[in-house]
Amino acid sequence: MVDNLPKKHESPATLRAVVALSGTAKDAKAGAVVLVGEAGMPVYLEGMASWPDKDLNHERSVEGVISSKHMIPEATRDEQGGWSQGVAPGSGPEWVIENPRVVERALAPKAMPIDLMRAAWPERAACLDSIRKAVIAGGEKPADFYVGAKVESRSEHLVFALWHRDAFLPENKNVTGNPGGKCRNALCLKKTSSFERFLYWQ
C-alpha cells in the first residue's frame, strides 16, 4: 500500500487536455495509483479502486485528463484527542487522472503539469522553477502548459518540451506543426540550473 502526504501545488484547472502518463502500478488506501518519476509521486486513477493482479507492480501507461483534487479526507481530532485516518490538515490536493484509460501504446502526448514533474523528479526542480519564472515574465500562465515526460540531455542543456493548452483545442486536433504558435522547447543550463531561452516549434 502507498501512503501519500501531498504538498500544495498549482492547480492546472485551466487545462483540460488528454495526455498520457507512465508509472509503476500500485494500490493506495484511496485507490489505484501510478507512481511517477524518481520520487515515485502517486497519481490517482479516478474511479479505479485497485489494479488487476497482472498489472500490479508493473510499468503501465494511462491516458486521461490530469487534475488536482482532494481524494483523501483530512484527519480530524475527536473530543478525546484521538485522530481519525487521513492526511494532515492543510495537505493536498492530490494529483488525479480523470476518466483513466490503461493503454498498451499511448497515442496522447506523454506530458504532465509542471508541478507534477517538479515533485516526481526533484533534481529538475531548479530548472523548472526558472522556466516557470520565464513563462510568467512573458505574460503567460504556467498552468497553461504541460511539460513533456522525456527531457533531452545535451552537452550544456536540459531541453524541456512545453505543450501549450492551445495545442489541445478541438480545432487543433491532428494539426501538424505548432497549432496556436505557443508550444516550445525550454533550454536550461545544466551548470547553473537556470533558464536560457525558448525555441518555438515549427
What are the domain boundaries of the chain?
18-103, 111-200
Q: Which residues of 83-105 are buried (b: 16+ CB within 10 A; e: fewer)?
A: eeeebeeebbbbbbbeebebeee
Predicted local confidence at residue 158, as pLDDT: 97
Q: What is the mean pLDDT of residues 85-112?
A: 83
Give tens-digit pLDDT for 4-47: 434 445 544 456 789 999 999 999 988 999 999 999 999 999 99
Range with lowest mean pLDDT among 20-34, 45-59, 76-90, 129-143? 76-90
User: Which pLDDT band holds residue 88 (cuts at 50, 70, 90)?
Assistant: low
Does pLDDT of 3 surpass 50? no
Does pLDDT of 111 surpass 70? yes
Angular region, 99: left φ>0, alpha ψ -120 to 50, beta rest: left
Count of residues making up the chain: 202
Predicted local confidence at residue 106, as pLDDT: 92
Neighbours of 1 (CB within 10 A): 6
Cα-Cα-Cα-Cα torsion 11, 168, 163, 70, nearest 10 degrees, comes to 20
Half-sphere exposure of 93 (CA within 13 A, CB side): 15
Kindly report the pTM of this predicted structure.
Answer: 0.83
Q: What is the mean pLDDT of residues 178-188?
A: 92
Most confident of 8-17, 86-95, 114-123: 114-123
CA distance 38 to 153: 16
